[in-house]
Amino acid sequence: MTETVESRPSAELVGAGDQPQLYLGGQWVDPHSTETLEVFSPATGERVGSVPLADDTDVNTAVEIARTVFTSGVWRDRTPADRAAVLNRAADLINERMGDISALVSAEMGATPTDVATLQGLPATGVLQGYAAAATDFPWEELRTGMFGETLVTREAIGVVGAIIAWNVPLFLLANKFGPALAAGCSIVLKPAPETPLNANLLAQIFTEAGVPEGVISVVPGGVTAGQTLVDHPDVDKITFTGSTAAGRAIAARCGDALKRCSLELGGKSAAIVLDDVDLESNIFMLVFSAGLINAGQACVAQTRVLVPRSRHDEIVSAMVETAKTFVPGLPTAEGTMLGPLITAKQRDKVEGYVAKGKEEGATPALEGGRPDGLESGFYVTPTIFTGVTNDMTIAREEIFGPVISVIAYDTVDEAIEIANDSDYGLAGSIWTSDVERGVEIAKQVRTGTLGINWYAIDPASPFGGFKNSGIGRENGREGLESYLEHKSILMPMGYMTPQA
């Protein structure tokens, strides 16, 4: 039986602009910190708003609230169906307010409002609904018969969760942390990226309005110091992190010292394997989009190594170049914009450095990007497509996080698989072919957590995560929910038979 949860009325939602308070435990409170975090648009350089820069005391306060409410059981002890209903209600509210949400996210990180709605909003509500379904169907208790008779196996909320997310798809990442934590019955303290804190405040309020009790959710905007305080806090039972591999290693080390649970969704250097039977006309746009132009290349799942058969190399490269030229850079609000800015001037400099490094190491730009005219106030760079790339080059080994694609030629499918697997990462990938069954057999040989045949997407009901340096653990579906749970075994007396319902 599914329970109906009434969402409670809330105060006016606060989004863009200057917010002088912190959202702790579902309420606006004055911060201990006296510092402010300023937010600027990467598209125009204009000031978007500000939030308090949470200090150690603010983080400690948030964790204390989360621990108190978790111990009380006010959320943990509600039925899974009840928690699922709240998640579904939150998804509905996000859909209802997507116009305002996407405009705010666009202002913070530069993607067009349409791209935010389709590439972040749709996946965000999808994972919330997916976790709601997983919670409803999950075997929270099961009876097992073993050597000594019956054992009752239960799954229980892990406790207080510290969530740290990146700036590139903040709406989706927030939902993919809140979803499993709340479905499991945990309390959560979120540290959004310092570049995109405003939407986190707005979305946290929506979850409160959907029915999450006071005390369960807190938002602590900040930088490295706030993140370290959250990771090291003894009352935080689990850390979930999405971001760079370097930061993930540091977090894993700190969690290891404390024997704290952690899950890490990190970087990627994924490969798109284009087979010799590919229908190029039907697939070229999606190939180029997922290879390096999605979100201006700022996506951990981008398949930036495109492996092409030598027999069709020139044909495929020509089609890629012509397609990439159609990705018009521009302001997020301008009609026809297909390529937004990079997040900061530092990131643009980094991407330009990789382009220079590629040429220095012998790769040839079939299309060389640059800073477009008329957009000097933002951090724009147009696409680069390299040919003559070998898999030992820097641009083929390191995550660039910008619109730079490396084309690598191969002679046999076995060689393509070997190149795809010759990476420190293993997050995503794709196979492009007219023979789906053949594509699946090749996909099974690629050591990466997710792949697509003739496209790429993250399915809300299926596990998402990576091999090797791409992370630890899985998000989405039952696997994502289970990582927020502890297992308990209750051994019955010998010979005891549990009464049947």
| Strand stretches in 216-372, DSSP E | 217-219, 238-242, 261-265, 271-274, 305-309, 364-367
**Hey, is 181 helix, strand or coil?**
helix
CA-based diameter of the chain, in Å?
Answer: 80
Q: What is the 3-state secondary structure (H, E, C) of 99-142?
A: HHHHHHHHHHHCCCHHHHHHHHHHHHHHHHHHHHHHHHHCCCEE
Return the closest-CA partner of residue 105 out of 43, 181, 54, 25: 43
Q: Looking at residue 5, what is its pLDDT? A: 43
| Contact yes or no for 344/118 (Cβ under 8 A) | no
Active-site positions read 265, 300
| Contact yes or no for 240/263 (Cβ under 8 A) | yes
**Hey, is 457 helix, strand or coil?**
coil
Q: Looking at residue 15, what is its pLDDT? A: 62
Residue-range domains of the chain with CATH: 17-266+470-488 (3.40.605.10), 271-453 (3.40.309.10)
Tell me: the pLDDT tens digits for 435-461?
999 999 999 999 999 999 999 999 999
Q: Looking at residue 276, what is its pLDDT? A: 97
Low-confidence stretches of the chain (pLDDT beneath 70)? 1-16, 501
| Strand stretches in 261-354, DSSP E | 261-265, 271-274, 305-309
The continuous run of DSSP H or E covering 210 comes out as helix 198-210
